[in-house]
Amino acid sequence: MERYHLGIDIGGTFTDIVIYDAYTGNIDVLKVPSTLNPEEAVIDALANLNINKKEMGIINHATTVATNALLTRKDLPKGALITNRGFRDVLEIGRQRRPEIYNLDFKRPIPLIPRRYRFTVKGRILHDGTIYQEMDYEELKALKKKILSEKIETIAVSMINSYVNPVHEKNIKDFFSDFPGPVFISSEVDPQYREYERTSTTVVNAILYPIVSRYLKRLSEGISSLGIKSQVYVMGSNGGLNTINYAVKMPISIIESGPGAGVMASLHLSRVIGRENVITFDMGGTTAKAGAIVNGKVEITNEFEAAGKTHSGRSIKGSGYPVRYPFIDLAEVSAGGGTIAWVDMGGALHVGPQSAGSVPGPAAYNRGGKDPTVTDANILLGRLNQEYLLGGSMKIFSNLSRIAMEEMVAKRLSIDFIEASKGIIKLVNNMMSRAISIVSLERGRDPRDFTMFSFGGAGPLHSIDLAEDIGIREIVVPKNPGLFSAFGLLTVDVTRVFISPFIKGDISEGFRNLEEMAIKSLKEENFEEINFLRFVDMRYRGQSYEITIEYTTNIFESFQKEHSRLYGYSSDDPIEIVNLRLVAVGKVAKASIPKINKRTIEPIINKRRANFNDEFYDTPVFLRESLSPGINGTGPAIVEGYDSTVLINPNWKWVVDEYENIIIWR
């Protein structure tokens, strides 16, 4: 009965829905405007789907609710932190990183828990796990009374050295067992050394819990109210799915929920069409993201700064809240279709970081937007359809684009609206080129050895400009690129990470203990088929940070090779293992990309004047849905689809392959 599998990607501008028919292999897509309460767009769309609700299988979705909560700090719950005497201010002391070295007015991020709600208690455990000072339970009684009187909603507990011996944290959790809200202990959330990062991770998890749990409850209840009994999963930051229960308990696991879906879709497609080295380029309504697949593997990093700032695609250390949880490594810039162009008081043109979002949106959408955006510039240059989008269901008002461009940019720069539009495209392309450079050139990779996978609603409009700038020779635009991330949600399994510090003892026994934890956790959620991947965090003795290596019989040799690759040298210094990492994978039904038999449909062709590299050309316009495998051509050309427009620059060749991807090269 589980015929239809749904992937739902909730973005800042649109909510994308992909419907995979497991019986026929067909894929249908739907794009609807996002809503202020993100679950409303999903529930309304599901209610209007013309499919049998009883045949609906899994629903996998990606959400920005956790990210937005930290960015806006709106409606954050009142939380408390319990820690050791002397560690009350660890959140504010942090690390000696200054995100803006020369800014004398710089202020550190405001702690998510203010000082008056950070409480200290007796009790001390030494670095080897020995109990040096016992806890005072009379003190805990007084503390509980204080916390209840303050109407605290959520509690984080982080005691020093609890990663070695968690007994004090567990005692506190047991003591607060009748507390009406959740109590999170660092030895369960992030059992690793470095008390600042461990405390920060636990605090972020505690603060996000009420927000994420309420959102997922509303979503689940809304779906159930439609008579849908599907299992709902949430995309995790690490490129795997989470069950609703796990996402509620570990909301840090979904902070970077959305961005990774496109990379995982790219990984799936790269295996289908045989490309091992891929640069992913995802441009949506508010941001553009670049990632890398190297030798068929997605790049994962184990720490990020939630709600931190970026500069030219680089995360600025010390500007956000450290969270230790695996996530897909991406470079991100504030450059999307809805990014606003503006002129400063000195007469300089800027693009972003502000975005028009879904409401009011670009001026051309006629929803009240008065500022020109990247989308408006593409419309005025003929790169986008000047009459409609979404296959005709969304009317475009190009006259409003022109008014906004003239009033807000062109007149202020004493140029015409066409030159202003060209300048906006050049600026936004320059910003996105930097992001691609971060994941390629800056990491010692030659872009000429990589294929770019271009997707997102606006990605294929700009990808060839970026490829020309950085030297990429081949681009793949998948079918339905504007909903490619939503499709990626249907290509992954439930993935859960278990970590244990390694002080001494037998590695195999350590992994066996982690496997027992993983099996218990996943079997409680009805997963029977469970696979394991084993990794170790290693370093030279005396180093401050570790490298994660896949666990094999030759891990020390593997570490030497990886260290040499990353830093250009290896050493004879002693090597130590810091953590054991177990990735447990619970199998979930997945979609596949169907191969299309060659057809003889004639492509529908129109023409319009469009701008490429500062020049206007009479450009053929193809309807994407009419292009069957084998159809090919040379640029300049435009391919318009329901969800995205592909721009093919002069001197580039293109062909539709057997999976209905557009392959572009020169």
- The per-residue pLDDT for 81 is 98
The residue-averaged pLDDT of 362-366 equals 95
The residue-averaged pLDDT of 511-535 equals 94
The residue-averaged pLDDT of 233-249 equals 95
Lowest mean pLDDT among 177-181, 221-225, 387-391: 387-391
pLDDT above 80: residue 439: yes
Q: What's the gap between Cα 170 and its chain centre?
A: 33
- The per-residue pLDDT for 582 is 97
H-helix or E-strand spanning residue 143: helix 137-149
- The per-residue pLDDT for 319 is 84
Rounded-to-integer distance, Cα 357 and Cα 12, Å: 6
- The per-residue pLDDT for 505 is 85
Name the residue with higher pLDDT: 31 or 557.
Answer: 557
The residue-averaged pLDDT of 328-334 equals 91
pLDDT above 80: residue 641: yes
pLDDT-based confidence at residue 604 (cuts at 50, 70, 90)? confident
The residue-averaged pLDDT of 521-528 equals 90
Report the alpha-carbon angle 332-11-229, nearest 5. 135
Residue 599 main-chain phi, psi, to 5 deg: -120, 175
Q: Are strands 232-235 and 653-656 parallel, antiparallel or unpaired?
A: unpaired
- The per-residue pLDDT for 601 is 72
The residue-averaged pLDDT of 526-555 equals 93
Report the alpha-carbon angle 166-170-171, nearest 5. 120
3-state secondary structure of 666: coil
pLDDT above 90: residue 510: yes
The residue-averaged pLDDT of 427-443 equals 94
Q: What digits encode the pLDDT tens for the residues 95-104?
A: 887 777 788 8
| Dihedral, CA of residue 195, residue 199, residue 202 and residue 204, to nearest 10 | -140
Q: Write the single-letter amino acid at 642.
A: Y
Report all structural domains of the chain as residue ranges with CATH numbers, in order of start: 4-68+231-245 (3.30.420.40), 70-211 (3.40.50), 259-335+428-488 (3.30.420.40), 343-425 (no CATH), 494-586 (no CATH), 605-665 (no CATH)
Q: Are strands 474-477 and 451-455 parallel, antiparallel or unpaired?
A: parallel
- The per-residue pLDDT for 258 is 81
Tokens of 510: 């350590």
The residue-averaged pLDDT of 212-231 equals 94
First to last CA, the chain: 47
Residue 59, strand partner residues: 6, 232
Q: What digits encode the pLDDT tens for the residues 159-175?
A: 999 999 999 999 999 99
3-state secondary structure of 202: helix
Max CA distance (Å), the chain: 82
The residue-averaged pLDDT of 549-565 equals 93
Q: Please report, for residues 147, 590, 634, the alpha-carbon distance to residue 267 in angstroms, rounded to integers and kept in the order given.
A: 47, 14, 27
The residue-averaged pLDDT of 238-256 equals 95
The residue-averaged pLDDT of 260-264 equals 92
Residue with tokens 């959620």: 525
Tokens of 475: 């681009």
pLDDT above 70: residue 176: yes
Rounded-to-integer distance, Cα 74 and Cα 109, Å: 15
The residue-averaged pLDDT of 595-599 equals 78
H-helix or E-strand spanning residue 280: strand 278-283
Q: Please report, for residues 237, 260, 290, 314, the alpha-carbon distance to residue 308 in angstroms, rounded to integers and kept in the order given.
A: 16, 18, 17, 10
Lowest mean pLDDT among 150-159, 199-208, 353-362, 490-499: 353-362
pLDDT mean across residues, the chain? 93
pLDDT above 60: residue 1: no
